[in-house]
């Protein structure tokens, strides 16, 4: 073991001898105890050196070790140790009763007792070899006499060996990994970062401030560049009290970091760590890391880099194996009596034009149940009202006039700049038919504007409503109040900046979520607030209505996403699992799944039916700020602060594309109505258009890739980029394709 070799080279032969019997002990007990015991060769070997200054503490710890060995009937090792330490038999017996009393029976305590002794010996070694550690030495020294108390102190160390030796362990591992074959080195280098962070946090947690600082200074520079933000946060964290308020780091400490390593590399690592008694690192690895082994070729550095970056490592293979129904729900038949023109439109629903309404879509898949689509009644959805059906008819009419976009036919972009927002514009949304824009501001207001010349009208007051003629044909017009009609309406109610806005599909409601922890439902008929949904007690960063209305999702600082229904004052589902704030929440087009992007750099896909997490996508190197599902439901695009847009295949759970080009956070992503073009808007004041058809065509999802998760991303960002459009000085925070495929963009002018 590297640590031992640094420390004491002379008694190596002694150490070898003691190794076997003590390792037999390891075989008898749990791995944890065994791990500690295996460190006792260090202790035992050092017994030779401080023999000169054997105080009573020394004696007692040695005797404790002897007692432990005796209790476990390791006679040979007892003899060897006794011979080496020169302890007489009488002393053993007298101490034996004491020790037994103190030990208070039970194998566990015996193990602890042994551990106390050995750990105190380890500390003595550390004093001899490395920088003196003031805090751990006195406590275990005292513990020689007063063994139960030491349990408490040393339980902090658990079974991970002496924290003061951490730099030594880390260095040893580093040297080993640098010496392996190239093909394995990339994979094994994945171990560095989680190991570094866990060791550092362990040092901080045990109040070893100076050691932690020196450990950090020595090794933080070696880590990958995309972890620099995390490391900066860590550098400010030097005391245990600092950790208390930081839930993310506490979660990181208690959860397992997932690594995917090929079997060959794993065997190599395991063999090295176990054969040379590097059990400290082995124990740390076992405790904090989850190594997902796959059979096959080791991955290259670029493959690993593309998938790593998240706070929890990569995704386990089982995490992405659940079946996801990513197909779309069938559009219902519309039976409203139509005139000729509308009949034609109705047929568009199934397939290309046919005159007879009855013959609907025989040839296309929509007649048969798409195996990848969920059942219609998998989750309860609201039935269509008449107004919804009229909306759908309008939608279909517009769809006929839709422009087919493609690399040769790019959409025109209409940009809505919010002037005089003084950097207070925090959220924007358009209605589906692009008739209204809503903006959420940092001054806690929500403003709604009408995009069309038609002005915004509220419903009349109750007194006026009683005066109108209810039987007239245009009663729906008469209930509207023309006197207070205006271009824009301001909605007051929140007590903090409004971070998320969403219109309902039927344009009756508007949702807004804010830093005050509430999600408010506003009526667009009366322009007043209807409900405040309280559940998050911390800022809510994003909210969205379901494509069918009725349900909505919200995600915030408390790392939970909640699914609500407008008529329940408490959430229906809670999606817990992220390690850091949820920054973006989106519904799947079939409303059965919800995607959440988080500050822990992962995207999770949740099933609404039972709240399970069905997919975990890692690969971003910064918090995710935008998500977009493709209209056919199969793919997901995500944008983060690292400026990259990643494309994911939901069915297989793999990354299938990477779009590089933006230089700053991507805050807006939208697919065109038929999914041919992906538009992305970013803080670097540009809107970029990407060829998504081509990006999705290129994937070869054969069984091999699905099994191992190896992805080979083509470096074709340049080919996929169809256009870059720069604004004067306006970051783009929202994008929207109208029903005819005109691209609308919104942002606040920021000179």
Partner 1 sequence: MASPKTVPKDAQVMIQILKDMGITEYEPRVINQMLEFTYRYVTTIIEDAKIYATHAKKSTVDADDIRLAIQCRMDQSFTSPPPRDFLLEVARQKNQTPLPLIKPYTGPRLPPDRYCLTAPNYRLKSIQKKVSSSAGRITVPRLSVGPVSSRPTTPTLGTPSVQTVTTKVGTPVSLTGQRFTVQIPSSQTSVKSATPSTPTVQNVLINPSLIGSKNILITTNMVSQNSAGDSSSLKRKHEEDDDYDAL
The residue ranges that bind partner 1 (CB under 8 A) are 229, 232, 235-236, 241, 244-247, 250-251, 254-255, 379-383, 385, 493, 508, 521, 523, 528-532, 537-538, 550, 557-560, 565-569, 571-577, 579, 608-612
Nearer to partner 1, 71 or 240 (CB): 240
Nearer to partner 1, 180 or 250 (CB): 250
Query: Exposure pattern of 629-667 as b/e (b: 16+ CB <10 Å)?
Result: bbbebbbbbbbbbbbbbbbbbbbbbbbbbbbbbbeebbb
User: In the structure encoding, which two tokens stand for residue 671, read together?
Assistant: 């697919």
CB of 414 to partner 1, least distance (A): 30
Nearer to partner 1, 489 or 734 (CB): 489
Please name the residues in contact with 9: beta carbons below 8 A apart, sequence gap of 6 or more: none
Nearer to partner 1, 557 or 652 (CB): 557
Whether residue 106 contacts residue 24, with contact meaning beta carbons closer than 8 Å, is answered with no
Q: Which of 577, 579, 566, 573 is nearest to 593 (CA)?
A: 573
Q: Would residue 686 be called left, alpha or beta, if left means φ above 0 and alpha means ψ between -120 and 50 degrees?
A: beta
Nearer to partner 1, 664 or 698 (CB): 664
> Based on the number of CB atoms within 10 Å of its own CB, is 621 exposed (0-12), middle (13-18) or buried (19 or more)?
buried
CB of 523 to partner 1, least distance (A): 8
CB of 532 to partner 1, least distance (A): 6
Helix 107-129 and helix 31-48: axis angle, to 10°? Answer: 40
CB of 151 to partner 1, least distance (A): 24
Please give the C-alpha separations between residue 720 and each of 113, 125, 527, in angstroms, as whole numbers.
65, 61, 43
Q: Which of 114, 145, 49, 126 is nearest to 134 (CA)?
A: 126
Nearer to partner 1, 569 or 704 (CB): 569
CB of 680 to partner 1, least distance (A): 23
Cα separation of 68 and 61, whole Å?
11
Cβ atoms within 10 Å of 297's Cβ, excluding its own: 12
Nearer to partner 1, 309 or 657 (CB): 309
DSSP conformation class of 375:
P
Nearer to partner 1, 294 or 749 (CB): 749
Phi, psi dihedrals of residue 325, rounded to the nearest 5°: -90, 90
CB of 244 to partner 1, least distance (A): 7
Give one DSSP letter per residue of 579-603, joined into a string.
SS-EEEEEE-TTSSEEEEEETTSEE
Nearer to partner 1, 422 or 704 (CB): 422
Return the HEC string of 498-531.
EEEEEECCCCCEEEEEECCCEEEEEECCCCEEEE
Nearer to partner 1, 413 or 491 (CB): 491
CB of 77 to partner 1, least distance (A): 40
CB of 491 to partner 1, least distance (A): 12
Q: Calculate the CA dihedral of residues 245, 247, 252, 256 and round it to 10 degrees.
A: 130
CB of 458 to partner 1, least distance (A): 15
CB of 387 to partner 1, least distance (A): 10
Dihedral sign of CA atoms 247, 252, 253, 255 in order: positive
């Amino acid at each position: 073991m590297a640590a031992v070799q640094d420390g004491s080279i002379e008694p190596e032969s002694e150490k070898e001898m003691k190794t076997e019997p003590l390792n037999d002990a390891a075989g008898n007990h749990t791995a944890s105890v065994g791990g500690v015991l295996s460190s006792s060769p260090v202790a035992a070997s050092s017994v030779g050196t401080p023999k000169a200054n054997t105080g009573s503490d020394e004696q007692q710890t040695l005797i404790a070790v002897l007692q432990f060995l005796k209790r476990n009937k390791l006679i040979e090792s007892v003899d060897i140790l006794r011979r080496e330490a020169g302890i007489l038999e009488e002393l053993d017996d007298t101490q034996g009763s004491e020790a037994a009393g103190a030990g208070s029976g039970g194998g566990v305590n015996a193990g602890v007792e042994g551990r106390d002794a050995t750990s105190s010996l380890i500390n003595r070694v550390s004093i001899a070899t490395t920088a003196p550690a003031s805090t751990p030495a006195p406590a275990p020294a005292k513990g020689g006499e007063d063994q139960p108390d030491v349990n408490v102190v040393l339980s902090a160390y658990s079974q991970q060996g002496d924290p003061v030796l951490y730099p030594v362990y880390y260095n040893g591992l580093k040297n080993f990994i640098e010496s392996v074959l190239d093909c394995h080195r990339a994979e094994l280098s994945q171990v560095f970062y989680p190991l570094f962070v866990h060791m550092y946090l362990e040092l901080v947690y045990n109040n070893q401030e100076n050691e932690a600082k020196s450990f950090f200074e020595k090794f933080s520079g070696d880590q990958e560049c995309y972890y620099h933000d995390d490391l900066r946060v860590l550098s400010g964290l030097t005391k245990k009290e600092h950790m208390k308020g930081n839930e993310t780091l506490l979660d990181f400490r208690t959860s397992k970091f997932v690594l995917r390593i090929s079997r060959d590399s794993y065997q190599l690592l395991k063999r090295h760590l176990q054969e040379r008694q590097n059990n400290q690192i082995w124990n740390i690895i076992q405790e904090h890391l989850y190594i997902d082994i796959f059979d096959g070729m080791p991955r290259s550095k670029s493959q690993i880099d593309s998938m790593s970056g998240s706070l929890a490592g990569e995704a386990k293979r089982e995490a992405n194996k659940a079946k996801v129904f990513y197909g779309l729900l069938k559009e219902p038949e519309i039976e409203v009596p139509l005139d000729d023109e509308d009949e034609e439109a109705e047929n568009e629903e199934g397939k290309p034009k046919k005159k007879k309404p009855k013959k609907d879509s025989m040839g296309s898949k929509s007649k048969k149940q798409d195996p990848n689509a969920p059942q219609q009644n998998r989750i309860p959805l609201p039935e269509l009202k008449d107004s919804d059906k009229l909306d759908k008819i309008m939608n279909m009419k517009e769809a006929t006039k839709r422009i087919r976009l493609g690399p040769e036919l790019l959409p025109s972009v209409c940009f809505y700049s919010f002037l005089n927002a003084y950097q207070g514009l925090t959220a924007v949304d358009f209605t589906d038919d692009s008739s209204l824009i809503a903006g959420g501001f940092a001054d806690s207001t929500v403003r709604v504007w009408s995009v069309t010349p038609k002005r915004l009208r509220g419903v009349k007051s109750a007194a006026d409503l009683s005066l109108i003629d209810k039987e007239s044909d245009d009663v729906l017009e008469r209930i509207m109040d023309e006197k207070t009609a205006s271009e824009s309406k301001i909605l007051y109610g929140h007590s903090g900046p409004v971070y998320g806005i969403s219109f309902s599909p039927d344009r009756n409601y508007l949702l807004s979520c804010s830093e005050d922890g509430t999600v408010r439902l506003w009526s667009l008929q009366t322009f007043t607030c209807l409900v405040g949904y309280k559940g998050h007690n911390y800022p809510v960063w994003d909210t969205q209505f379901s494509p069918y209305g009725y349900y909505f999702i919200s995600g915030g600082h408390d790392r939970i996403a909640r699914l609500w229904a407008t008529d329940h004052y408490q959430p229906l589902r809670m999606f817990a699992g992220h390690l850091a704030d949820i920054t973006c929440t989106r519904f799947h087009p079939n409303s059965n799944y919800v995607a959440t992007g988080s500050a822990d750099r992962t995207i999770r896909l949740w099933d609404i039916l039972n709240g399970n997490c069905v997919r975990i996508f890692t690969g971003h190197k910064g918090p995710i700020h935008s998500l977009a599902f493709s209209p056919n439901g199969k793919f997901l695009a995500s944008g983060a602060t690292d400026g990259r847009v990643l494309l994911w295949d939901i069915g297989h759970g793999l990354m299938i594309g990477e779009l590089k080009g933006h230089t700053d956070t991507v805050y807006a992503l939208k697919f065109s109505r038929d999914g041919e073009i992906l538009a992305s808007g970013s803080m670097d004041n540009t809107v970029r258009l990407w060829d998504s058809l081509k990006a999705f065509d290129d994937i070869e999802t054969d069984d091999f890739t699905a099994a191992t998760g190896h992805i080979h991303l083509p470096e074709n960002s340049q080919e996929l980029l169809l256009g870059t459009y720069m604004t004067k000085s306006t970051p783009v925070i929202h994008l929207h394709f109208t029903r005819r495929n005109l691209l609308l963009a919104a942002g606040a002018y920021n000179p």
